[in-house]
Structure 1
Amino acid sequence: MTPKKIGFIGLGLMGGWMVKHLLASGHTVLGYDRNEEQMKALLPSGLTPVKNISDLPNLVDVIIFSLPTSQIVSQVIHEDLRLIERPMKDLVMIDTSTADPRLSKELAEKIASQGMYFLDAAVSGTSEMCKAKDTLFMVGGSEAMYNKWSELFADMGRESVFMGESGAGSAIKLVVNLVLAINRMGMAEGLTLAKQAGIDQAKALEVLKKSAAYSKSMDQKGSRMVERNFYPPIGHLSTHYKDVQLMVSYAGSLYCPVPVISLAAQALASEMSKGAHDRDSSAMICFYDGLVAAQKK
């Protein structure tokens, strides 16, 4: 791909690594984050910091968002960039956040009515996988725009898949995260049973990895669960809880029963109530520790 001028908003755990990959691929990246330290950290990699976010649309070919929620993405587009009020014809926006599919679709329609394009390009992978360029982009929106910018996804991650109309990328991300969350909860429950049965949890994890029960979650979170090593977090428990809440809400809007992930939401809420917001999401196992401790009283 011919090097592009890319605007990037949100330079945290995931966004920071995506920016580094884009810079390494020869693109010019103009970045913005409300946390100035995030921008300063990327200066050695070649980032061009932008002080006034409203200037960004006039300076770039495409704007990529890596923000906590689709509500924040919408706010930035409407209030900070003012792109609905002052549209830039043919500007492309790519949202890599874990988004609400309903809002992704609504945003895409509003943006299209102003002569611009919006792709919901959800990312599957942890920040460590993002660092290793081992992420998957799942994209919804205009197929023509996806084809035009597909090489950009290749510059940031391992692979990309076009999912269909606007909102489809965000929806499949929730499906992926739902299965992933259930895998993690199942691993925490299994390790708890092993301990109660007198089996060393590290040995139990070793067997699980070699068994038919294996999942990638065991590589990513297993040792952290066994060692109760929750800092520094690779993915915050608070973020995991936010994503699970979104899954339950979206499923409810479709009248889709999701009893298992609903139980996971309650377990996460229990840990959040104990102040575990800043722990790694592997701290899910502490929910089971609490249940076992309560039984012994």
Structure 2
Amino acid sequence: MPRRRDVLRFAGATAAAGVGTALAGCTARSSSGDGAARLGRWLYDPAEYGTDWERYRVHYVEPAALASNETYLNSSMVEWLTESPVAPRDRVDYQLQATVVADDGTYPQVAIFEGAFGIGRARSAISQGATRDGVYDGRELYRSDGGGYLALDHGELWFVGNVDRRGAEAYFDRAGERTFVANDDRFARFFDRAGVGVYTGLQLGREGAGYGGFSYHVDGPKTTARSLRRQPLPDRQREEIERRVERARRSEDSLREISFEYDDGEALLTVELETRRALVFLDPVDVFELGY
């Protein structure tokens, strides 16, 4: 299973614990329902920084919601996920990572943690990779040794890289005022069909290009995952995918249900499976080897 990039690497932190998505707790609640609004708050428009970008990658996780479902998750998944260096795992409501793939590397890199945690542990997590650099809007401001700035307060750790201090403050100032997500109908399409669950991964090309992503919605012993991709699939390829879907339906005992829809260039895969068998951080298209 591939390991995800530690979001705190952007901040220059040396947290051996890795990405903050560890699991704890006992009973069941899934997504808070605020995921789409949170993405809208933080995702900037790459076109404001350049025109040579290729892909916009977004990862969104709700550690506290995952923590509440630990009882139902399989042990290998629990072992693979590691505790957040920022706060106790059940106190991080969400964390978000956004990066742009481009040739010149001038686009901001973003990592956001928010939840019900104090300032001490988050301060300790960044202490080996960042230097205090004053105050921003009542929050402690740090300059990352690897480039970029962090703003820290109770229940908040914000990071933006590939910018100077002025650029960082400008980015933070616009939190909650961005229009990129609201104005790009690909997000609306994704939110409507795949949703934003306890883990969501999304990738967009430039305006008019394709997009794709997946989202896991955990509800106690049952998990529903949806993968939505905008891409051309010729008739012969669709027929092969449909055969593979039927083969998975017959052979995969973890599946309760699986369906594949293709309409107007958009492919939607929906799977319902036992939570203990869910590989929460992988696109179900890849998990079930559907080949598109």
Q: Scaled by the length of structure 1, what TM-score is found?
A: 0.28
The structure carrying a bigger strand percent of its residues is 2
**Which structure would you say has the larger Rg?**
1
The structure carrying a bigger helix percent of its residues is 1
Q: Scaled by the length of structure 2, what TM-score is found?
A: 0.28
- The higher relative CO (CA closer than 8 Å, separation ≥ 6) is in 2
